[in-house]
Structure 1
């Protein structure tokens, strides 16, 4: 074909491919896509996916571009490679799809030359295919993946995801492996524990709802490997599996047209355990929750000062030592050793032998002595050495260097040095700041003296109470003696539960508070304060406010605002003779709406979604005006004894009658689990009866099942609390509340509405369709005081200490559940009946 013919063909095709959304997904022979034309793209029929060139981020100089398939919004799911501004992606007349640079050099090729390719297309699942004249697929991007797997794409044995030196593959036995440099297997998740048959041709698939499973002809159904934390939630969300350049495999979610992604699951929970993350001789550690890379000591320097992950090198190589060699000691550090290195580099000796043997051996550059009683010593030979340092590691490592040994300065000495240099250069600023602070302190002290000079307790007030009275909402730190004095020695007990007892207290400024004395806390000081700060930063009209805390030695206490009218259960399930505790319908509906708004804030409006896990009337408190406030959110993370990077179990608490079915089916716990619990509470607000009660009136059926039967008959009066029969009731609100409750307690989480939608339905903003019948779910053996669910769940039942004594058929029990963290990602927390308040 002549140049003129090429020009005419290009002019003919230009109108079809010059817009961001093209009219056709068919790629004819001779088609070309140019990196220099950012408006040129090829879209799938429904415009969900498109093939185009995108600028590489972060920007390079000169600029480079990636030939990629993107999901709506610009999220890349497959790429052919990176080119300069002169790059072109062409479907050649020979049938090969080829990416070339501006110089004409080939960057990538589909290797389909002379295989009869006649056209190509991009389908609505994101699969780019090349077809012959019989419409048979000759090549597809799904069969030639890069670093991403999308729903409907089967990832099979022999296929590999790659990102830099890292790769991910599926083994013939169904195991999933992450490998560094094609040699070091640093993550190997076996699936044989859940598969009791030999696999012939396993494949991995990520379902649109966020479930990752292995399929095989010998399996009747998929063997679940992992869940995304937003499993089953939302619509128009693309969930995809990606191997990132940090060596971790993650499930991401991307809402349509947003262009943003959120990590919902990670294969390696501790990023520093990824081999080679910080390069050779690099040491990985954490700055709060973020991994950072550094060098072992001042005997080393970064290979690239602009990229810490490239690792470190000795300033003086061992072969060029002017003096003797010595061993640098790294406390609480280890050098990562995985198969196949593990067997050849593991020895058994004491810590001194581990150090001296490496020093004397010419084939050892570093060693790790594991201080767990096993006597394991790992010797590292010259080559790639990947380090990890963390205060919780029970190991000491040694690195061979040339004398003199120059350890890294401690953070305190670094800070002191920086402060000294700053003072020398800017002493005037320091003086101004100090004088300003002194003036402010003097003014504040004078104000306090003027206001409180006649108070006998003025001398005992601390600056912490000044914060409590005037400050910014930050949690106030109390001493244990202060709280002991304010509670009169912890005498007036309001309630008790799984996290400890609650006492009434009066602060020095006459503020009445509820002081929760936590039990079983094993967290360190820093982690405890971080979690307290997270809870205290969660502010909403319908959430109980955390005022302060105490962290002194083994004492851990939380100070909450006092709720004068106690908890909702005292009103809903009060005996008939306690007429003063009867709530009219207007109060009940406002409580239901306020509770829904509080949970909505936890789920959808916080920076991080908080799943409560124990929504029940005992955890809904009422202030002096009967406004509802949700209590005890965030406590499970606070109680957890281990840092989230190292824990293997996640502990939560739930209560009989309010647990969602996924607890019993060992499925992931999400915000939809709270929706189920709220639906049960909403039904109790309407009926004034425990949802798990059975009686002759309900034909010995669970109340929620019986209530739906009456709802279908149109007999709402049978469901409504009989104590309201002589009162004015808004039946339209009653109908909305009952319908919403049945939607919330659907067995499938995907059928339950989000809490924001619940609020809209209760307010009448959104029309409510007739809910399907909720299934009767058997919640294990629940007739006694303990519940036995499965090998993965241990249960402990306790009665709410200050709850009214229930009948044997309706005893409220709190159960403690432990679940595998890989199957359940739970943020937030729960407890039993706490913060029980004084009644009028």
Structure 2
């Protein structure tokens, strides 16, 4: 596999950055440089060929989505390996590196589904000052990277930091759990439900009102209709009205919601299952519900607006392994506005502890 840099303005700098970055970064979760070549106006970097594609190929709409299923075990391995690779770049590599374009397309998979971070073309050496990008066309006009995966401060100022990579990792983490790229997530379509859940909330509500899809009437053993099931104390009507109100709030927010706000909203309203890929929900026995919820909490921490509020990648690795998340989450919750306060997560005895056991279990249902 080769990366090609044709002779053009800036290619010399890009090529030197790529060679320097990869040659000094040696880690099992980083793509290894096999060699390079400069010939007739072209510069080539040679890497091992990984035929199993990238994480993006296994997300909704990806070329391998319908051929191979990424189990929760695979996704857990991908998340941890990617986090460890980025943590190495930020803290243990000499000189330290910033990737600058963390996304599903840049995480390749080995035959054992181990993640390998690639594409250091945008990498910046931490020791080198990164200048502000000219704002000829407004804020972020010349920012390099991938729209949607850029941290807010990068898009606004053009300045990168390790915390910018943390933001991109948070986006990747949500995509892996949901099984969809950022732009295929329900929040981008104004829908509260994920893939395989029977359409939008409005469609499901219309089906219920018309008696379709498990409506208001039951059947006897011979398939005949029984009398209409009556609500006790009007509780079902109240619940239906509450669901309508919640859906209207989501539809009003629409595309104005950030990824962090959407995930938080779904969690607050008890719709965590809508955040989980149908391929995972189809095999609940192969998944640890508690671990899924812990990973979602880590993603929310990574997606915070201010870079100083985000954890480091080393902290992400520790939290993903079940240590230190409760304390960090509690500090974040205490500092948030009331409307975005994360859900409470007490232990069975009501005391918040600094371990993964402090999180309420997540009931992952099958596809609906």
TM-score normalised by L of structure 1: 0.28
Structure 2: tracts of 5 or more residues without a match: 135-141, 193-250, 338-368
CA change 1:555–1:623 in 2 (3 A) is same
- Equivalent pairs counted in the alignment come to 258
1:712 aligns with 2:203: no
1:580 aligns with 2:138: no
CA change 1:531–1:686 in 2 (3 A) is closer
Task: Please say if residues 525 and 551 of structure 1, whose CA atoms lie closer than 8 Å, have aligned partners that are also in contact.
Answer: no
- Cα deviation, 1:597-620, whole Å, max 9, x if unaligned, reads 111111111112211111110111
Instruction: Show the 5 A alignment for 1:712-751.
Output: 712-727=268-283, 728-751=286-309
CA change 1:582–1:555 in 2 (3 A) is same
1:754 aligns with 2:312: yes
Looking at secondary structure, tell me which structure has more strand per residue: 1
What is the alpha-carbon distance in structure 2 between the residues aligned to residue 730 and residue 558 of structure 1?
40
1:664 aligns with 2:155: yes
CA change 1:529–1:726 in 2 (3 A) is closer
Task: Please say if residues 50 and 110 of structure 2, whose CA atoms lie closer than 8 Å, have aligned partners that are also in contact.
Answer: yes
The correspondence for 2:170, drawn from 665, 679, 692, is 679
SS at structure 1 position matched to 2:108: strand
State the partner residue of 1:108. Answer: none
Task: Please say if residues 572 and 582 of structure 1, whose CA atoms lie closer than 8 Å, have aligned partners that are also in contact.
Answer: no
Return the offset for 1:689: 2.1
Return the offset for 1:535: 2.1
State the partner residue of 1:621. Answer: 108
State the partner residue of 1:361. Answer: none
CA change 1:671–1:714 in 2 (3 A) is same
Task: Please say if residues 611 and 671 of structure 1, whose CA atoms lie closer than 8 Å, have aligned partners that are also in contact.
Answer: yes
What is the alpha-carbon distance in structure 2 between the residues aligned to residue 558 and residue 669 of structure 1?
24
Return the offset for 1:726: 1.9
Looking at secondary structure, tell me which structure has more helix per residue: 2
**Rg (Cα) greater in structure:** 1
- Cα deviation, 1:190-220, whole Å, max 9, x if unaligned, reads xxxxxxxxxxxxxxxxxxxxxxxxxxxxxxx
1:697 aligns with 2:191: yes
What is the alpha-carbon distance in structure 2 between the residues aligned to residue 667 and residue 627 of structure 1?
32
State the partner residue of 2:23. Answer: 536
1:592 aligns with 2:86: no
What is the alpha-carbon distance in structure 1 between the residues aligned to residue 94 and residue 148 of structure 2?
30
TM-score normalised by L of structure 2: 0.62
What is the alpha-carbon distance in structure 1 between the residues aligned to residue 62 and residue 93 of structure 2?
38
- Cα deviation, 1:332-369, whole Å, max 9, x if unaligned, reads xxxxxxxxxxxxxxxxxxxxxxxxxxxxxxxxxxxxxx
Task: Please say if residues 610 and 633 of structure 1, whose CA atoms lie closer than 8 Å, have aligned partners that are also in contact.
Answer: no
Return the offset for 1:653: 2.1
- Greater RCO (Cα-Cα under 8 Å, separation 6 or more): 2
Instruction: Show the 5 A alignment for 1:337-376.
Output: none
SS at structure 2 position matched to 1:653: coil
Task: Please say if residues 610 and 634 of structure 1, whose CA atoms lie closer than 8 Å, have aligned partners that are also in contact.
Answer: no
CA change 1:543–1:652 in 2 (3 A) is farther
SS at structure 2 position matched to 1:580: coil
Larger mean CA deviation between 711-720 and 525-534 belongs to 525-534
What is the alpha-carbon distance in structure 2 between the residues aligned to residue 530 and residue 616 of structure 1?
19
SS at structure 1 position matched to 2:172: helix
What is the alpha-carbon distance in structure 2 between the residues aligned to residue 559 and residue 520 of structure 1?
17
What is the alpha-carbon distance in structure 2 between the residues aligned to residue 530 and residue 656 of structure 1?
22
What is the alpha-carbon distance in structure 1 between the residues aligned to residue 273 and residue 11 of structure 2?
54
CA change 1:524–1:635 in 2 (3 A) is closer
- Cα deviation, 1:135-184, whole Å, max 9, x if unaligned, reads xxxxxxxxxxxxxxxxxxxxxxxxxxxxxxxxxxxxxxxxxxxxxxxxxx
Return the offset for 1:522: 5.2
Return the offset for 1:749: 0.6
SS at structure 2 position matched to 1:654: coil
CA change 1:534–1:705 in 2 (3 A) is closer
What is the alpha-carbon distance in structure 1 between the residues aligned to residue 63 and residue 132 of structure 2?
48
Instruction: Show the 5 A alignment for 1:233-632.
Output: 514-521=1-8, 532-574=19-61, 578-632=65-119
State the partner residue of 2:146. Answer: 655
Return the offset for 1:652: 5.9
- Cα deviation, 1:504-536, whole Å, max 9, x if unaligned, reads xxxxxxxxxx01221345579899568624422
What is the alpha-carbon distance in structure 2 between the residues aligned to residue 527 and residue 679 of structure 1?
26
Pairwise CA RMSD of aligned residues? 3.3
Task: Please say if residues 521 and 556 of structure 1, whose CA atoms lie closer than 8 Å, have aligned partners that are also in contact.
Answer: no
Return the offset for 1:637: 5.8
Instruction: Show the 5 A alignment for 1:45-194.
Output: none
Structure 1: tracts of 5 or more residues without a match: 1-513, 639-643, 775-840
Task: Please say if residues 691 and 704 of structure 1, whose CA atoms lie closer than 8 Å, have aligned partners that are also in contact.
Answer: no
